[in-house]
Amino acid sequence: MLGRLLPLAFAAWLHAEGPDDQFVRIYNWIQQADALAESGRNDQARQKYLQAQAELKTLQTTHPDWNDSVVGFRLKYVAEKLAPLTQQDKQPAHLTPEQKSELSSPTAESAVLVQLLQEQTRQLTADKELLQAKLREALTAQPAAVDPRELAKAQDKIKLLQKEVEVLRVNLDKAESRPDKPVDPVRLEETRQALAAAKQELAQQAESARALTLEKDALQQRLQSLISGAEIKTLREENQRLERERDELKKKLSAATKAPNDNKTRAQLVPMEQPAYQVAALRARREVLEARKTPDSPEGLGLLKPLELDALRPDAGSDRKSSSTLPAAAGSLVAEARRAFSARRYGEAEEKYSQALRFDDKNVAILANLAETEIELSRLAAAEDHLKRALATDSKDAFSLSVLGILKVRQAKYDEALDALSRAAQLDPQNADTFQYLGVALTKKGLPEPAEAAFRRAIKLAPGHADAHHHLAVIYATRQPPTLEMARWHYQKALETGHPKDSTLERILSAKKPAGR
């Protein structure tokens, strides 16, 4: 049990450090060993050199790309220092033959190993308590937007590791009570293999706690920006102004309907309907604009250009719901169109949707799906025409509004995109793609803070949304000052969920990465 559990715990301590910190700690051990050797305390110097040698090999294995020339030089230096000390230990002049035999036996090696493991166990316990303290701090200050289940999982894992440490202490006491038992080389090799396997597991828990802490800090910063009294006051004043304008328009409309023979008044009926629609759109926009407007950096806008937007996912048309139902005669054609869309055969999908539209030329579902297909074929004018027809039938169809917002993003008409996507999000708050494109439109409008909220909402609805993770990484990397740890974390999540590598973003993250020692 000692051979299995002690390396597991020691691995957690090692992996929690970065390669820079680990090398600094090893270098300090070498300096201590040099001082001990110069003062004639060869046994203690030898132990320090052995400890530094073992950790240098571990650093070389776990981080093969980290300054291999420096690690190789230090390994050679330690080996040269150990050579005379090992020779002296083998043939000490002042010992009797019986004492020399006893010193070279496995008992001495066992005692050294037990002492080393005991020191590592103490260090592990201290690091474990530090990790627990950080996790408790994250739990105490965490905003409600962070999923408490993820924190609970991390806390349960820490408790499990704590139990393993307690078992480790018991077994270490047993090992110390039998110092005469030689170390089994086979068990020692199994221990080393278990050490390598355990590093990844605990590293994931440490990364999870670190990511949750960063998440908490970012959300708290957003919270501080949202409680700005001046901004909220401005928004309320704007809302009151729009309500007054709405009331005036209602009065004019009422007066116009009482005089139907007045040609001038009748001509004003259509224009007067538009501001009422605008009031509804502005109310929807207000829900995503309660954040301080700050201009985005040039490099951030460069990374979030329209070309960066991924095509609509193949299954988008099949999963989204519309307010209208399909006629029975068009059902088979629509099913074929959706299969073609999912297979990215957009030309075939367009043809099937067009045929289905002949059975009901005002069907909102068919019109919106046809427009979505035409966007993929870059037939933007035709897509816009079909969306206008769909919304003329049902102005509150969330699917049609969402597709219209995506079309406006493709056309770089970000004000119109913001109106359509805001209303779509209000009508259907469960559509992750709507919030994803809403975040892009907000970013293009110079509103990175509400854009961040939109991307986070998309990830909450679809945790594997690669585009939302990528755009959050861009926001964090290009803001002033940048939040590099969050940027790197979200970029890694984007890669893990299928987003292609972004060489421009990687250069930014690499250029701003602290230099290694």
- 381 versus 214: which is more confidently predicted? 381
- 26 versus 236: which is more confidently predicted? 26
| Boundaries of every domain in the chain | 2-224, 230-286, 298-511
The reported pTM is 0.45
All residues at 6 or more sequence positions from 197 whose CB lies less than 8 Å from its CB, including other chains = none
Q: Is the confidence at residue 8, as pLDDT, over 60?
A: no
Structure confidence at residue 140 as a pLDDT band (50, 70, 90): low
pLDDT tens digits for 33-73?
Answer: 999 989 989 989 999 999 999 999 988 888 888 888 888 88
User: Mean per-residue pLDDT for 425-443?
Assistant: 94
**Contact (Cβ atoms closer than 8 angstroms) between residue 511 and residue 484:** no
Sign of dihedral through CA atoms 39, 42, 43, 45? positive
Q: Is the confidence at residue 388, as pLDDT, over 80?
A: yes
DSSP conformation class of 262: -
**Contact (Cβ atoms closer than 8 angstroms) between residue 159 and residue 135:** no
Most confident of 80-89, 110-119, 275-284: 80-89
CA nearest to 13, candidates 98, 139, 120, 160:
120
- Indicate the range of 416-430, 483-497, 499-513 predicted with least confidence: 499-513
CATH architecture of residue range(s) 298-511: Alpha Horseshoe (1.25)
Q: Is the confidence at residue 328, as pLDDT, over 80?
A: no
Sign of dihedral through CA atoms 138, 140, 142, 146? positive
**Contact (Cβ atoms closer than 8 angstroms) between residue 52 and residue 33:** yes
Structure confidence at residue 104 as a pLDDT band (50, 70, 90): very low
- 119 versus 12: which is more confidently predicted? 119
Structure confidence at residue 364 as a pLDDT band (50, 70, 90): very high
- Indicate the range of 189-203, 259-273, 390-404, 484-498 predicted with least confidence: 259-273
- Indicate the range of 14-18, 49-53, 262-266, 451-455 predicted with least confidence: 262-266
384-390-395 Cα angle (round to 5): 110
Q: Is the confidence at residue 192, as pLDDT, over 90?
A: no
CA distance 186 to 188: 5
CA distance 478 to 459: 20
Structure confidence at residue 13 as a pLDDT band (50, 70, 90): very low
173-176-179 Cα angle (round to 5): 155
pLDDT at res. 248: 77
pLDDT at res. 71: 86
Number of other residues whose CB lies within 10 A of the CB of residue 267:
10
**How much is the mean pLDDT over the chain?**
75
DSSP conformation class of 423: H
What are φ and ψ of residue 465, in 5° steps? -75, 100
- Indicate the range of 22-26, 279-283, 367-371 predicted with least confidence: 279-283
DSSP conformation letters of 133-192: HHHHHHHHH--TTS-HHHHHHHHHHHHHHHHHHHHHHHHHHHHHT-TTSPPPHHHHHHHH
pLDDT at res. 347: 94
- Encoding tokens for residue 384? 């816009």
Give the distance from CA 87 to its chain's centroid.
53
CA distance 181 to 110: 7
User: Mean per-residue pLDDT for 94-120?
Assistant: 57
Query: How much of the chain, in percent, has pLDDT values that exceed 70?
Result: 61
- Encoding tokens for residue 462? 């679809």
Most confident of 135-149, 218-232, 375-389: 375-389
**Contact (Cβ atoms closer than 8 angstroms) between residue 491 and residue 505:** yes
